[in-house]
């Protein structure tokens, strides 16, 4: 009970701005949990989709590959589907790769969605802590100005201690939010890199199968 009493006392002494900071922290935690679960799900979906697609890729059956990408909505499937659609128009690898890059542009915003808010919330928590401290100090000095001279030192010391609680809690909220932002950003980048790697493997296999050309100038003497 001592810990809960200390936390309750900390909130009571921190003043009004403690509560907006707590709300910011809770919002950040909610975003972190939602993004973590979403990214884990997308990672699993992409891995399964590409593993299921590999047997079709080895058969070089374009119709079956196209049907697979249309039935599967994983980002890696949509990206490969854009490449297959372009192959109906041109066999140049650069054009197919460009079409797949456009497909990636549709998937990346969904992976990065809301993660950037965590750094913003961390800054808001820090600024709210500083604002609460400044307002608390202003109120403290105003109260000291009208206090008895014998009590001014003690009253000022207590007021400053209370005002600093807001800054402390702002930092307590901001530090983990920045850590969560870094973790989610790295996880997102890893998923994007795996999708891009799958696209490169697809292009390389299709090039080896002569389904697309590398775009190299042909030797006229041949």
Check pLDDT > 70 for residue 220. Answer: no
User: 28 lies in a domain?
Assistant: yes
Does residue 171 or residue 7 have the better pLDDT? 171
User: 219 lies in a domain?
Assistant: no
pLDDT score, position 147: 66
* Mean predicted confidence (pLDDT) in 86-115: 88
Contact in structure between 31 and 117 (CB atoms under 8 Å): yes
Q: List C-alpha distances in Å: 3 to 8, 9, 22.
A: 9, 10, 18
Total tally of structural domains belonging to the chain? 1
Contact in structure between 133 and 167 (CB atoms under 8 Å): yes
User: 3 lies in a domain?
Assistant: no
Check pLDDT > 90 for residue 3. Answer: no
User: 121 lies in a domain?
Assistant: yes
The two tokens of residue 181 are: 């932002």
Helices 117-145 and 18-59 sit at what angle, rounded to 10 degrees? Answer: 170
Does residue 204 or residue 144 have the better pLDDT? 204
pLDDT tens, residue by residue, 109-156: 888 989 999 999 999 999 999 988 888 788 777 767 776 766 667 667
Residue with tokens 């696209």: 199
Does residue 131 or residue 59 have the better pLDDT? 131
Query: Both ends of the chain: CA-CA distance in Å?
Result: 87
The average confidence (pLDDT) of the chain is 84
Report the SS3 class of residue 81: helix
pLDDT tens, residue by residue, 46-56: 999 999 998 88
User: 220 lies in a domain?
Assistant: no
User: 1 lies in a domain?
Assistant: no
82: left (phi over 0), alpha (psi -120 to 50) or beta: alpha
pLDDT band at 171 (very low <50, low <70, confident <90, very high): very high
pLDDT score, position 23: 94
User: 214 lies in a domain?
Assistant: no
């Amino acid at each position: 009970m001592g810990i809960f009493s200390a936390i309750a006392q900390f909130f009571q002494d921190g003043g009004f701005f403690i509560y907006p900071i707590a709300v910011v922290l809770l919002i950040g935690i909610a975003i972190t949990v939602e993004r973590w679960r979403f990214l884990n799900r997308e990672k699993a979906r992409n891995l399964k989709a590409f593993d299921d697609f590999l047997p079709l890729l080895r058969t070089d059956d374009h119709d079956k590959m196209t049907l697979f990408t249309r039935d599967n909505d994983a980002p890696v499937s949509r990206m490969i589907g854009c490449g297959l659609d372009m192959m109906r128009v041109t066999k140049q690898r650069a054009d197919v790769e460009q079409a797949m890059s456009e497909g990636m542009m549709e998937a990346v915003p969904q992976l990065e969605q809301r993660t950037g808010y965590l750094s913003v919330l961390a800054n808001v928590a820090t600024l709210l802590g500083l604002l609460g401290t400044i307002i608390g100090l202003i109120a403290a000095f105003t109260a000291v100005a009208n206090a008895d001279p014998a009590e001014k030192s003690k009253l000022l010391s207590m007021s400053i201690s209370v005002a600093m609680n807001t800054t402390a809690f702002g930092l307590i909220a901001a530090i983990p939010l920045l850590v969560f932002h870094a973790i989610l950003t790295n996880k997102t980048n890893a998923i994007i890199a795996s999708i891009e790697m799958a696209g490169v493997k697809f292009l390389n296999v299709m090039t080896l199968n002569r389904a697309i050309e590398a775009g190299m100038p042909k030797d006229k003497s041949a």
